[in-house]
Amino acid sequence: MTRSRGEGSGPTRRDVLAASLAFGALAACSRDEAPRYEGGWVGASAERGHLLRGGWPATKSGSAPEIAVTRRVGAVIVGAGIAGLGAARALRGAGVDDCHVLELEDTAGGNSRGHAMAGMRCPLGAHYLPVPGPTATEVIELLDELGVRRRVNGGAVYDERMLCHSPQERLFIDGGWRDGLLPPIEALPAAERATTLAQYRAFSAAVAAAGDDGAFEIPTARSRWSVALAALDRVPFAAWLDAHGLVAPALRWYLDYCCRDDYGAGSAEVSAWAGLHYFASRHGFRLQDDVRSADAGEGGVLTWPEGNAWLAERLAAPLGDRLHPGRVVRAVDEGRDDVTVDAWNATTGQRERWIAGRVVLATPLFIAARLLAAPPEALREATRVVRHAPWLVANLQLDAALDDRPGAAPSWDNVVYGSAGLGYVDAMHQSTRPFAGATVLTAYLALGAGGEAALAEQRRRLLGDDWRAWAGRVIADIAPAHPDLAAKVRRVDLMRYGHAMSIPAPGVRSSAALHELAAPQRRVHFAHADLSAYSVFEEAFFHGMRAGRAAAGQRAIDIGGR
C-alpha cells in the first residue's frame, strides 16, 4: 500500500501450506462455532446511492414529490470528496463565500473518510499521501497552510509526527518477514535469482528512461504528453512486460500488486502508461540496496491513524454549516441564467431545490451523467470509457498485539507475498507508546480484475454476501503471516465500495472526452479524480481546485495537452 520501490517467485510451498492450514482452521471454526468476533458493514449507505437509479423515495409511483424548500445561493458543489472539498476551497479563496456543498453520506471525505474502533481512529479508505513533488503545487500550499510542511533554509521540512515512522513496510515471504515490499532475491528459489535480479535491473532502467523529461508528473495534467506516452497508453501493462521479456514471477507478482494497490486492478487490466506512471511519477523502481542508500527524505509518506480523513476533515472544517451531509442530489438542470439542483434530504425526508449561478459536479463521472438533464457528449463518452474497480476495506480491532514471526519488525504496511489481498496497515503505527498492544489493522482488497461482467459480479457479492464471509476471506488472506489473527480479532467493520476508483485501462488516459470535461465549462464544471484516469489525493484535489477556480471565473489552470 505504499510506494517505495524495494526488492521474488510465486508463493513457496511453505506459504501455500501455511495458507491452507489457516484457511482450514477458519473453515473448521465456521463449521463448529460462530466466529468470536462481532462486526458488520459501516460507512456507506447503499440505499442512498441506489436512489440515484430509482425514482424519488417518497412516492410509490416514482414521480417527484413536492419541493419542500427552495434556496438561491452563489454556488453549489455536489459531492464532498477530496475534489469537492478542493473546489470549495478554491471558490472561497476567490471570494465566493455563498458556496454550499451537498454530500450524499453523513460525513464529508468520500473515499478519504475515517472510522474509529474502541477509541482508536482508523481509515475507511485512503490512508496516506506521498510527500508531494514540485509540480503538486496546490497540495504543497495546503500542507503549508495546515502546518504539515515548513520551509527551512530553502528546503521543505515535514512534521515528524505525520511522516510515516520507520519501519515503513515489510513482506512475508518464505516463512519470514523481510524489509521492503519488492521480493528480495535471497528469498527466491536459487534457480530464479540471477534472472530475477537482471529483470529487476532491466525494469528499473526502463522506468528511468521513460520518466525523463517531465513525462510522468503529478498531477498528470502537468505531464508532457507525447506520441510515446500515447503508445504506452494503448497496450495493457502485462502485454508490454511480456514484449520486453520481463517475465520473472517475483517481478510480475510485485508489479501486479502495485497496480492492484494504486489502481484497484492488476497488470492485465491497466495500461503500460499506468504501470510505468506508478514508479516514474515518484522516485523510480529501486532495488532494496538502492532504497537503503537513497536520501532519507525520498519516498516519504504522510500518514495519520485515520488516514487521509485527517486532511478531509481539515478541508471540510471551514465550510461550517455550508456543508450539507445527507443530501442525495438527484437532478441537475442547467438553464440560461442559473442551474437548478434537486436533492433528497435523507434526514427530513424532503425534496429540496437549490438554485445557483454555478455548480461543480464533484461526483464520479457516471453519476454526473445521471444527474444532468442534458449531459454533454464528452460526458456520455467518458462513461463509456471509464470503468470503476470495486474495493473492500476491513478494519480489524485487536485487544492485543499479534505474535510475530521471524524477520523484519512490525511495520506500518505489511504484505503477504503471493496473496490476492493487499495486506494491512496498522492504525497505531504512528503512536509513540512504548509497547505493542491493542490496535486496529486496516486490510485492503482490490476487486477490479476482469471485464464488466466480473466487476458486476463483485458488486453483487459485496451487496449480497454476509459480512462474515468477507471478514473470513480477509482474515484467511493474512493468516499465513499471522495464524493467531482469527483468535485475537474482537470486531471487524467492513466498508464496501461498488465503484471505488477509475481503472486506468488502455485508452483512458488518452481519452479526449476526459480532457474536454477538465476544461472550463459554462455553468456546470466537472471535478473528480476520474478525470485523471486514476484516483489519488493529488489528482482529486487538483481537479477540485481547478474546477473551483473555473467556477469562480478565475484564470483557468493549464490542463496540458493530450
Ligand X SMILES: Cc1cc2nc3c(=O)[nH]c(=O)nc-3n(C[C@H](O)[C@H](O)[C@H](O)COP(=O)(O)OP(=O)(O)OC[C@H]3O[C@@H](n4cnc5c(N)ncnc54)[C@H](O)[C@@H]3O)c2cc1C
Say if residues 529 and 501 touch (Cβ distance below 8 Å).
Answer: yes
Site string for ligand X, 20-59 (x = CB under 6 A): --------------------------------x-------
Nearer to ligand X, 15 or 352 (CB): 352
The residue with its CB nearest to ligand X is 81
Rounded to the nearest 10°, the torsion over CA 219, 225, 228, 230 is 80
Does position 390 bind ligand X by CB under 6 A? Answer: no
Q: How many residues form the binding site for ligand X (CB under 6 A)?
A: 40
Does position 79 bind ligand X by CB under 6 A? Answer: yes
Cell of 369: 451523467
Say if residues 479 and 486 touch (Cβ distance below 8 Å).
Answer: yes
Nearer to ligand X, 282 or 327 (CB): 327
Does position 414 bind ligand X by CB under 6 A? Answer: no
H-assigned helices in 104-180: 137-145
- Interface pick for ligand X out of 76, 88, 367, 489 (rule CB under 6 A): 367
Site string for ligand X, 425-464 (x = CB under 6 A): -------------------x--------------------
Least gap, CB of 536 to ligand X (angstroms): 4
As a whole number of angstroms, the longest Cα–Cα distance in the chain is 73
Does position 80 bind ligand X by CB under 6 A? Answer: yes
Site string for ligand X, 106-145 (x = CB under 6 A): ----xxx------------xxxxx----------------
The span of 24-32, 268-276, 323-331, 332-340 binding ligand X (CB under 6 A) equals: 323-331
Does position 493 bind ligand X by CB under 6 A? Answer: no
Which residues, in sequence order, are CB contacts of 463 under 8 Å at separation 6+? 46, 496, 498
Helix (H) or strand (E) run with residue 327 in it = strand 327-334
Does position 537 bind ligand X by CB under 6 A? Answer: yes
**CA-to-CA distance for 396 and 385, rounded, in angstroms?**
36
Q: What are phi and psi of 429, to 5 degrees?
A: -60, -35
- Interface pick for ligand X out of 323, 536, 552, 559 (rule CB under 6 A): 536
Nearer to ligand X, 80 or 486 (CB): 80
Does position 102 bind ligand X by CB under 6 A? Answer: yes
Q: Is 251 exposed, middle or buried (0-12, 13-18, 19+ CB in 10 A)?
A: buried
Q: How many angstroms from the chain centroid is the CA of residue 5? A: 19
Which residues, in sequence order, are CB contacts of 171 under 8 Å at separation 6+? 177, 178, 180, 181, 182, 183, 184, 415, 416, 417
The amino acid that residue 421 corresponds to is G
- Interface pick for ligand X out of 528, 546, 549, 562 (rule CB under 6 A): 528
Q: List contacts with ligand X (CB under 6 A).
A: 52, 78-84, 102-105, 110-112, 125-129, 308, 327-329, 362-364, 367, 391, 393, 444, 497, 500-501, 528-529, 535-537, 540
